[in-house]
């Protein structure tokens, strides 16, 4: 179930990111995407830290999965599609 949700998230956000380039611009999308991926990496790290402390057996996997899904959403929004487009335009 996690793999399917990650795949669906990646496809939909890449399409959304490419369609939002002209509306918002490249720089804001890259900044939002980089901030989102950074926050989500910290969230995933926090979930593993809490699992190490044996905080909650039901809360930490949900935190890790939600952090991963939001990471792929943020990545697909800007960091996934934009560097390729920018390098093609420069070339």
What is the total count of domains within the chain?
A: 1
What CATH number does residue 57 fall under? 1.20.1250.20
Task: Give tens-digit pLDDT for 66-77.
Answer: 999 899 889 888
Domain that holds residue 70: 2-82
Distance CA 16, CA 29 (A): 11
10 occurs within a structural domain: yes
Task: Give tens-digit pLDDT for 5-24.
Answer: 888 888 888 888 878 888 88
Handedness of CA 59, 61, 33, 24 (dihedral sign): negative
pTM for the model stands at 0.81
What is the CA angle 4-20-43, rounded to 5? 50
16 occurs within a structural domain: yes
Q: Are the CB atoms for 40 and 79 separated by under 8 Å?
A: no
Task: Give tens-digit pLDDT for 47-89.
Answer: 999 988 887 788 888 899 899 989 988 988 888 878 877 788 7
């Amino acid at each position: 179930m996690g793999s399917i949700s990650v795949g669906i998230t990646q496809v939909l956000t890449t399409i959304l990111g490419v369609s939002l380039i002209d509306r918002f611009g490249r720089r804001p999308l890259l900044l939002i995407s980089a901030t989102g991926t950074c926050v989500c990496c910290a969230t995933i790290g926090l979930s593993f830290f809490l699992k190490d402390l044996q905080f909650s057996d039901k809360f930490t996997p949900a935190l890790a999965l939600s952090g991963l899904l939001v990471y792929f959403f943020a990545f697909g929004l800007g960091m996934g599609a934009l560097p390729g487009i920018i390098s093609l335009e420069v070339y």
